[in-house]
Amino acid sequence: MLTIITNLEILKLMLIVVIVPLVDVVLISFLYFYSKIYKTNDEIESEELVKGIHNTILEIIKKREEKVMTGEGNSIGGDFLQLLVEAHHDTNASLKISIEDLVDEYKTFYIAGQETTSTLLAWTIFLLAIHTDWQEKARKEVLNLFGKQNPNPDGITKLKIMGMIINESLRLYPPVIAITRKVEREVRLGKLTLLANLLLYIPTLALHHDPKIWGEDVHLFKPERFSEGIAKASNNNIAAFFPC
């Protein structure tokens, strides 16, 4: 049976097929350009904060550059910021990093590092509050080494008991409970072949609580397990300890 389509039905089809999608496109385009011109107070505040952080980091970098150029940077001891600044001024183009890369690395290390460090300190203080015997040992070590003087970088490296406590805190309560990595190219790892672009998931928390690695007392706070180093503590599985 031949179906006759009227002019009204044709108009309805045009409205559905052509006009409605066109209106959607126009509306989406309008909203996009509107958002670029008119911003909410939250968006404006967010952009100002980002810009402020960026400018502050640039000022810090500029001051450090001046010290590195005049030779004063050597007295600081070669911290991470100095290494970044030196990489930015590297004469080898293949090793040189851009100012944007420098800023991004600074943000990652200091801003993200602040969160993980504060988490570590919180758990360490909590554990020492419970285990007052180790709190007393740490206090005696610090007083014997520094007395009433402020701690200095050289002396801090000699705090063996404090190092054991921090390592045990990182083992029990790692700030980063898992790490992901992407394989850049095919590589052989022991008996395994890791293909390019493979995503690896490393469960830090699970490794730190594996009794096969740390012993049956894995869930207990025992800093003395690190008295002879990480290798001895981890039953010669150094790669199983991620202090991050």
180 forms beta bridges with 201
Residue 13 phi, psi dihedral angles, 5° rounding:
-65, -40
The pLDDT of residue 208 is above 90: yes
Cα distance between residue 82 and residue 183, in whole Å: 29
pLDDT of residue 2: 43
Cα distance between residue 54 and residue 122, in whole Å: 28
pLDDT tens-digit readout, 128-150? 999 999 999 999 999 999 998 88
Kind and range of the H or E run holding 142: helix 132-146
Cα distance between residue 206 and residue 172, in whole Å: 10
168, 223 Cβ separation under 8 angstroms: yes
Residue 203: C-alpha distances to residues 80, 175, 181, 208 (Å): 27, 12, 12, 9
Residue 87: count of CB within 10 angstroms of its CB: 15
205, 142 Cβ separation under 8 angstroms: no
pLDDT tens-digit readout, 30-49? 666 666 666 777 877 888 88
pLDDT tens-digit readout, 168-201? 999 999 998 898 989 989 999 888 899 999 999 9
Of 134, 111, 162, which Cα lies nearest the Cα of 220? 134
Cα distance between residue 73 and residue 68, in whole Å: 5
Q: What is the DSSP string of 158-176?
A: T-HHHHHHHHHHHHHS-SS
Residue 144 tokens, joined: 């014997």
